[in-house]
Amino acid sequence: MFLNLKKVLFVSVIALLANQLIAQKRLLTIEEATNGLTTTLATKGVINPSWQPGTECFWQVIKDGDKEYWQVINYCQAEHEAPFFVQQGKYPVTETVTAIPAIKWLNNKQAYFINGKNIILGTLSNRTWTWETLVALPEKAENITVDKSMQVAFTLKNNLWLWHPGVGQIRVTNFENESVVNGQAVHRNEFGIDKGIFFSPKGSLMAYYCMDQTMVKYYPIVKWDAMPARADEVTYPMAGDVSHEVTLVVFDPHTGKKVTMHTGETERDHYLTSVTWSPDEKYIYIAILNREQNHLCLNKYNVSNGNKVITLFEEWSKAYVHPTHPLTFISGKNEQFIWWSERDGFEHLYLYSTNGIKIKQLTKGKWVVNELLGFNMDAKKVLFTSSLGDPREKHIYSVGLDDLVMNRIDKDRGMHTGLCCEDGKYVLDVYSASDIPKNSIIRATNCDFRDELVISKNPLELYERPETRNVEITAADGKTTLYGKLILPLHFNGSNKYPVIVYLYNGPNVQLVHNSFPASGNLWYDYMAERGYVVFVMDGRGSWNRGIDFEQVTHLNLGKIEMEDQLKGVEYLKSLPFVDASRMGVHGWSFGGFMTTSLMLKYPNIFKCAVAGGPVMDWKMYEVMYTERYMSTPKKNPSGYASSNLLDKVSNLKGKLLLIHGTNDDVVVWQNSINFLRKCVDEGVQVDYFVYPGHEHNVRGKDRVHLMEKITEYFDEYLKK
C-alpha cells in the first residue's frame, strides 16, 4: 500500500512538472507569425558565403560579439590548410559601412560591393583587403551592373550609361521619349528575364535591351503621398492589346559603334529571351518566342553586323513554350552548351553543339530539374538540383557528361540549395526539413567528405507547436496525386469540431507544399492553429514542379480545373470527424485572390467567409505576357475569358467576402477590385473592402502585420461564431 502511494505521488509530481513545462511554452504573437522567420525567429546560417575564384577557398563572415571577421577555409586536398582570418581593412574615408558587406568576386584577388550608389573595389594581398572607391554613380542611377572588366553600366530614367576605367562615363543612349527604355528588364520580367544589360565574357562588348513602348496604352498609378495626389503613367499592355517592341543592341565602348540584332524587321510582336554571349564574343544567341508563345526559335547572330547566322532549332507546343534560362556553355568547350527544355513533358537539360545538333539529353525522367549549379570538369559532371523522388523535396545531383550516370550528393531529406566552387569539387549545401531548421554543410561532389559549418538551433523551441500532417489526395481527374498539409489546432481533440481555413494559390509557377522548416510552411498557419483553427493548404493541378501535363491542364480556362481540385480538398476536409463544415473559410492572394473569389461566386454554399487579396477579377485587365500564355487572347478564346470573368457573377455571393488591394498595384491593377465593387453596388450585394495606401501588389514590411491582423480578425468574426 505504501509503495503504491509512493508511485502515485511520483506520477503526480511528474505530471505537474510536465504541465508546468507546457505552461512555460510561448505562443506566437501576430508580429512573429508575420515577419518572425526573417527577423527574431530566423534560423542561423552562413553569413555572406562565397567561393574565391580559381581556388577551393570558402569565405564566410564570423561574428564574435560585436566584432566580425572574414574566415577562409581552403578545401584543396593538397593544401590541408587550417581556417584562417582575413583583415577587412579600412574603407575609403567617405564611406560608412556598419557591417562586413557581401562581396562579389571580379577575379582571384579583387571583389566589390555597392554602398549606396558607390562601387567599392577591394584588392586582396597578404590576407588583407585594401578598399577604394571605383566609381561614384549619380544618385538616381538604377540597374547597376558591374562587369569583371571593372566596367559599370547603369541607367538614368530610360537611358543607358557606361563607366569605363580610364575613360569615365559614356552615354550609350540618348532617347528623349521616356517610353523608349534601355538597359532594363523587358516583357514585364516574364520568361526568367531579370536584367537588361549583358556584358560579353571578356567585357569587350555590351549588349542591352531596347524596349519601345510608344505604341502601348498608358495606365495611371496614383501617388497618394503627394499633395495634391498625382497620377504616374506606366505602360501596361493588357491581354489582346498592342504590346511593346523589343530589340537587342550591341555596343562597343572602344569605338562607340552600336549594332542592332536583326531579330525581326517584319515581325516585331514577339519576345526576346535567353540572351547569351558566345565565349569568343563573336556571336550572341537569342531565343525568339512568338506572340502566341507556342513556337520558339533559338537563333545565333553575328554581333559585328547583326545578321542571323543560323536557327539552331525550334520548339513547338499545343499550349505554350516557356523558356526561362539562358544557354550555359560547357567550361573549356566553346562549341557545346546546355539548353533547358520541357519538350519531353518535364524540365530537363540537353547538350547541344553550336551548329544546332543535339548531342544528348543529359537528364530524363518524370521529375523536374530546378537549378543548374555548375560543373566538375575533372570528373566531367554537371551539378544541378531536382525534384527527383518527391516533388515536395529538392536535392543536389551530378550527372556525367559522357556516361549520364546520376549521383545524389546530399544525404538528408528536405529542401536543398547549393553553391558550388568554380571547379565544382565542393558545394555549400544549405537545407531544411520539417524537423531540421537549417543545416549548412560543405560537401565534396565526388566523395563522402563533409564539413558542418552551421547547424541551426530551433528558433521555435520555446513555442508551443501545432501538429502538421502531410496529406495526399486524388485530384478531380481520379488519378493524379495531390500533396497538401493539414495543420491541427493546439491541444487537438479529435472529438471536437473545429473551424477550417483553406489557404491557396494554385496558380502557375508556384508551389506551396514543401518538406521544409517550419513543418506547416508558414507561421501564420501556426498562429491560426493556436487560435483554434484547422488550416489546410494543397497544390492542385496548374501549380508548379510537376511537369507540363500537370501544369498545362488549365490552359485556356484558368480557374476551372484548379477549383475542381481544391473542392476535392474540401471533400477530404468534410470527411474528417473534427471538421465543422458549416464554418469553413478560404484565403489567397494574387492568383490565390482570384481563386478565392472564384470559389465564393461559383460555389457559394461551401465557404462561410473569405479574404481575397490583390485578386484578378477579369483576365482581360491583366498583362499580355502572362495572360496570353495561359489564356490566349480575348478574341481567340472568348469562352475562356467569359468563364473566368468574375464581374458578372457578383450576384451569386452568399458568404462574407473581404477584398484587399494595394492602391499602387501595377501588377494586378487596382481597377480589378474597383470594378468588382461597382458591380456589387449595381447588384445590391454587400461586400467588405480594405485598401493599403501606397502599397503595390503585396503588403510588405511592418504594414504586413496590420494586414495579417485584419485577416485574422475577419476570420475570428465570422468563423468562430
Rounded distance between C-alpha atoms, residue 458 and residue 441, angstroms = 17
- Closest C-alpha to 560, from 631, 483, 499, 621: 631
Rounded distance between C-alpha atoms, residue 366 and residue 344, angstroms = 9
Give the chain's largest Cα–Cα span: 103
Helix, strand, or coil here: 464? coil
Contact between residue 162 and residue 153 where contact means Cβ atoms under 8 Å apart: yes
Residue positions annotated with a catalytic role: 590, 665, 697
Which regions of 75-216 does DSSP assign to beta strands (E)?
84-86, 104-105, 110-115, 118-125, 128-136, 142-146, 152-156, 159-164, 168-171, 180-182, 197-199, 206-212
| Long-range contacts formed by 544-550: CB under 8 A, 24+ apart | 544/508, 544/509, 544/510, 544/511, 545/368, 545/370, 545/387, 545/391, 545/511, 546/368, 546/391, 547/342, 547/345, 547/346, 547/347, 547/366, 547/368, 548/317, 548/319, 548/342, 548/345, 548/346, 549/345, 550/480
φ, ψ (nearest 5 deg) of residue 695: -90, 150
Rounded distance between C-alpha atoms, residue 95 and residue 202, angstroms = 30
Say whether the peptide bond before residue 253 is cis (omega within 30 degrees of 0).
Answer: no
Measured on CA atoms in the order 485, 488, 490, 493, is the torsion positive or negative? negative
CB within 8 A of 528, min separation 6: which ones? 487, 501, 535, 712, 715
Helix, strand, or coil here: 271? strand
Helix, strand, or coil here: 38? helix
φ, ψ (nearest 5 deg) of residue 234: -120, 150
φ, ψ (nearest 5 deg) of residue 601: -95, -35
